[in-house]
Amino acid sequence: MRAQLIRDNGGPEVFEAAELVMEQAATVLRQTPHPHTMQIAMKTLLTLACAVVVSACASSQVAHTAAATTATIVPASAVTWEQLNPARGDKSPRAATLWGDRNGTVATGFLVRFVDGFSSPPHIHNVSYRGVVIRGLVHNGDPKADAVWMPVGSYWTQPKGGVHITAANGGETVAYIEIEEGPYLVRPADQAFDAGEEPVNVDASRVAWAETNGVRRAPLWGDPADDAPSGALLQLPAGASAKLQGHGATLRAVVIQGRIDHRGPGQAHAKTLEPGSYFGAEGASTHQVACLEGSSCVLYVRVEGRLDVVVEARE
C-alpha cells in the first residue's frame, strides 16, 4: 500500500511528513487518558496528517509541472541580426543567436552571415568554436594557406588562440556556429596562444555517414553513448518522416539543408522550417520531422544524452 501511494502521489517525502505527524499523534494519545478527549485529539491529528499529505502532493505536482518539457522554435525568417564584431563596424559579418547567449558565459549556437567576397584579417578567438556551412562557400584556415572552399553541409572547428582567417564566396553565405562557453570575442593575431587543439575541416563530400533504415547519421564530436553533449548530422531523404527522441537534458537542432515540417512538444500543428531555422527542448522530448519533397534534408543535432531516430513508414 505505501509503495503504491508513493508511486501515485509524488514520492517518499510525502509519507515521511505524514508519518512524523502520526508519531506525534501517538505520543499525544499516550498522554491523553480520557476517552472523549482522546477521540477529539485523534480526529484533529488525523485531519492534520491528511492536510500534510495533500499539501506535499500538491507541491510535488507543482514540481513535476515546472520540470515539464518546453520546446522552442526559431524560424530562419524570424532571427534578429546584429554585428558579430562591432569593432569593425559595417565591415563586420552579421550574427543571430538561436539559443544561449553569445555575449554571456554559457554554451551558445548562432548564425553568421557574410557578404560575398568577405575575407577577415588574421585574428584569434578567446574560445574554440565549431561550424557548419548552411549557404554559400566558407574558407577557414591559416592566413598563409591556399583557400579551400567548403560547401553546404561541411563542418569545421577553430581552436581558441589559433591565428586564422575566415572568408566567404558564392553570394550571401551563412554558417551555424557553436561554442561551449562564452563570451565569443575577436582578438588581434598578436594575442595568439596555443590551446593544444588542432583545427578540423571536413568537406561535405567527406562526411562519414552511417545509414540505418533510410536515415543517415554522421557523428561529429562527443560521445553519444554518455550524458555529455555531442553533435551529429542527420540526413533524411525527400518525403521521409522520423521521430527524434532525446532522452537527456537538452535537444537542439538546426536545419542545414532542405525544408522540413516540424512538430515538437506542445505543438498541435507542424511548422515548416527553412535552412537556418532552429528547434529545441529542455528535458526529454520527441520531435516529429518530415523532409519535404524536392531534396534531401540535413539537420545538425546537438544532444545531452541518448538520441533515438525512429523512421516512420511512408503511406
How many distinct structural domains can be found in the chain?
A: 3
User: Contact 71/271 with Cβ under 8 angstroms?
Assistant: no
Q: Are residues 27 and 84 in the same domain?
A: no
Residue 71 forms part of a structural domain:
no
User: Contact 199/156 with Cβ under 8 angstroms?
Assistant: yes
CA dist 244 to 43, 79, 247, 291, 313, Å?
53, 24, 10, 13, 15
Place of cell 548564425: 111
Q: Are residues 95 and 142 in the same domain?
A: yes
In this structure, what C-alpha cell is assigned to residue 302?
A: 546537438
Among 185, 205, 225, the domain-final residue is: 205
Beta-ladder partners of 200: 157
Q: Are residues 105 and 182 in the same domain?
A: yes
Among 156, 176, 205, the domain-final residue is: 205
Q: Are residues 191 and 212 in the same domain?
A: no
Burial (CB < 10 A; 0-12, 13-18, 19+), residue 287, is buried
Residue 163 forms part of a structural domain:
yes
d(CA 94, CA 83) in angstroms, rounded, equals 5
Long-range pairs for 109-112: beta carbons < 8 A, 24 or more residues apart: 109/176, 109/177, 109/178, 109/252, 109/254, 109/278, 109/302, 110/176, 110/177, 110/178, 110/184, 111/76, 111/79, 111/174, 111/175, 111/176, 111/177, 111/276, 112/84, 112/174, 112/175, 112/176, 112/177
Q: Are residues 80 and 201 in the same domain?
A: yes
Q: Are residues 186 and 246 in the same domain?
A: no
Q: Are residues 143 and 86 in the same domain?
A: yes
Residue 93 forms part of a structural domain:
yes
Q: Are residues 59 and 82 in the same domain?
A: no
d(CA 256, CA 241) in angstroms, rounded, equals 17
Give the orientation angle of helix 12-30 with respect to helix 35-66, to 10 degrees: 170
Q: Are residues 200 and 216 in the same domain?
A: no
Q: Are residues 102 and 195 in the same domain?
A: yes
Q: What is the CATH number of the domain that holds 82?
A: 2.60.120.10
Q: Name every residue whose Cβ is closer than 8 Å to that of residue 71 and which is 6 or more positions away in sequence.
A: 264, 265, 266, 267, 279, 280, 281, 285, 287
Residue 52 forms part of a structural domain:
yes
d(CA 54, CA 76) in angstroms, rounded, equals 47
Q: Are residues 124 and 197 in the same domain?
A: yes
Q: Are residues 152 and 49 in the same domain?
A: no
| 13 HSE (CA, 13 A, CB side) | 8
Among 25, 44, 65, the domain-final residue is: 65
Task: Look at residue 312 and give its three-state secondary structure.
Answer: strand
Residue 123 forms part of a structural domain:
yes
pTM score: 0.79
Strands (DSSP E) along 237-282, which ranges? Answer: 241-246, 250-257, 260-263, 271-273, 278-282
Over its length of 315 residues, how does the chain's per-residue pLDDT go in tens digits?
434 433 344 444 444 544 544 455 445 445 545 555 445 444 544 444 444 334 444 444 433 333 457 789 999 999 999 999 888 888 889 999 999 999 999 999 999 999 999 999 999 999 999 999 999 999 999 999 999 999 999 999 999 999 999 999 988 999 999 999 999 999 999 999 999 999 999 999 999 999 988 899 999 999 988 999 999 999 999 999 999 999 999 999 999 999 999 999 988 899 999 999 999 999 999 999 999 999 999 999 999 999 999 998 766
| Alpha-carbon Rg for the chain in angstroms | 27
Residue 184 forms part of a structural domain:
yes
Beta-ladder partners of 99: 109
Task: Look at residue 28 and give its three-state secondary structure.
Answer: helix
Residue 219 forms part of a structural domain:
yes
Residue 70 forms part of a structural domain:
no
Instruction: Give the domain extent around 134.
Output: 76-205
